Amino acid sequence: MFRRHWSGLPKDPSFPADLKGLGYFINDEDEIRSTEDPDCYFKFFLNRNPRINERQRFAFNQALEMVIHERLENEGLQKVTLPLGSTAEDRHVPIFVSPCLMFKSRVVVIFGEPTQDLGLLAGRVASGPGGIDKGSMVSVVRVLQTQASSDVDPSPPGIVLANTGQLYWWPEGKRGVTVSASTAIPLPSIVHHGRRHVPALNNVPGSEDPTAHVRHVFDEVLRKITQEAAKVSVVAIGESCEIVTKYLDDEKNWLVWQDRLSSLLLLGSVYPDDELTNESFKHFLAKASRTRAYATSAEPLDAPLAPPTGNPDEGVPNLGCPCYSSAEPHHAEVILISALGPALGYLETVAMTPDFENPPIAVPERPEPEFTEQDWGQVPEEEKPLVTRWTGEK
């Protein structure tokens, strides 16, 4: 009788987790290029088999992450594991913090998108046009290190880079990966469908999901390794905007942080304030406010898009705070890259100005475009909708 052994199945592909081994190098413009053809960036479609492509990207992302982490450490940041006190053998999630965080009068904490690796802003920039520094937190850290903590403290603020993405613990690799990357971890063979998520194996205590991680950073990191008088500037990107605002909307949490929160920056938020119930927090967002949102928009950088009540003409919901253009029309992950100077400059302005309040926002009205028969005639035939007349006959 025919019998197939498990060992006879085709092996899962393996790639070296370094740029040189993968056939790439970093050029003088800080961009990753192909060794074979320096005009080309990262090539994802290596094979018709999608598993091979995913395994190559998994190795490439690990190699890119190592470069970014090395540069962040060169900027003076230190890697800390959560829960605090956990070892490399324990289930943990890494974050980056400034040294001597306890002695900082202001701390900037950044919650990135839950789909991103620690230290990465946008893979489309870090591994493509723009380069590694521009597409990662390296550029953000460098700008923050030129700022003053307050009007009485000229030293730079402390920095905490949270890790809302790499919360899936990979036991064999002894590290956390993102949910999307967990589908590309090594399997017994190339034909295996994947792994079952086992909470006791794959969850990190205290950071089981992005919501738990945000709570853990506020409750266990900021409250324990910063001084009680230190002000906190919060930056949230993408889905983290909703998670952070819901955390602060909780009355118990708001009582703890309302006097310590220096400013709040929401990048790519699309969540209306309808479900917020804490009137004091909503007042902080809207008027007494040291909160600003940046949205994807083709309008010029820093152009006002909407007051706290929103602006349907620009497709901006009632975010509860003033909203400005990032000059990035499509991708939320690129907002902080595009609006880096004005966004981080806002944090410093608030910190340097006692009793700061957002100025009134004036949104110019956008006139309705008028279409004429001449405009319709200029539309190419292939772009016009197909119009047919129904006669009632089948």
Q: Is 313 helix (H, G, I), strand (E, B) or coil?
A: helix
What does the alpha-carbon distance between residue 350 and residue 147 come to, in Å, rounded to a whole number? 12
What does the alpha-carbon distance between residue 290 and residue 262 come to, in Å, rounded to a whole number? 7
Give the tokens for residue 64. 């890119």
Rounded mean pLDDT, 50-64: 96
Rounded mean pLDDT, 150-163: 95
Q: How many CA atoms lie within 13 A of 182 on its CB side?
A: 21
pLDDT at 324: 93
Q: Tell me the CATH architecture of domain 73-352.
A: 3-Layer(aba) Sandwich (3.40)
Start-to-end CA distance of the chain, whole Å, equals 58
Report the share of the chain in percent with pLDDT over 90: 74
Is residue 166 within 8 Å of 105, Cβ to Cβ? no
Beta strand residue intervals within the chain, DSSP E: 24-26, 32-34, 78-82, 93-97, 106-111, 158-161, 168-170, 175-177, 231-237, 261-267, 291-295, 304-306, 323-325
pLDDT at 392: 64
pLDDT at 385: 77
Q: Residue 37: is its pLDDT beyond 90?
A: yes
Beta bridge partners of 111: 236
C-alpha distances (whole Å) from 43 to each of 47, 49, 59, 180 are 10, 14, 13, 19
Rounded mean pLDDT, 257-262: 92
pTM of the model: 0.89
CA 212 vs. chain centroid, Å, equals 16
Q: Residue 11: is its pLDDT beyond 90?
A: yes
Q: Residue 208: is its pLDDT beyond 80?
A: yes
Q: Where are the domains of the chain?
A: 73-352
- pLDDT by residue (tens digit) across 340-374? 999 999 999 999 998 888 888 877 776 666 656 66
pLDDT-derived band of residue 386, with 50, 70 and 90 as boundaries? confident
Give the tokens for residue 351. 């910190």
Rounded mean pLDDT, 149-167: 95
Mean pLDDT of the chain: 91
pLDDT at 314: 84
pLDDT at 369: 62
Q: Residue 261: is its pLDDT beyond 70?
A: yes
- pLDDT by residue (tens digit) across 303-337? 999 988 888 888 888 998 999 999 999 999 999 99
What one-character DSSP code corresponds to residue 63? Answer: H
Ranges 211-220, 237-246, 371-380: which has the least confidence? 371-380
Give the tokens for residue 338. 């595009």
Q: Residue 1: is its pLDDT beyond 80?
A: no
Give the tokens for residue 305. 């898009």
pLDDT at 152: 92
- The residue among 388 and 59 whose pLDDT is bigger is 59
- pLDDT by residue (tens digit) across 295-310? 999 899 999 999 888 8
Q: Which residues contact 349 (CB under 8 A, 6 or more apart)?
A: 356
Give the tokens for residue 8. 């006879």
Report the share of the chain in percent with pLDDT over 70: 94
pLDDT-derived band of residue 288, with 50, 70 and 90 as boundaries? low
- How wide is the angle at C-alpha 87 spanned by C-alphas 157 and 19, nearest 5°? 75
Give the tokens for residue 222. 């900021």
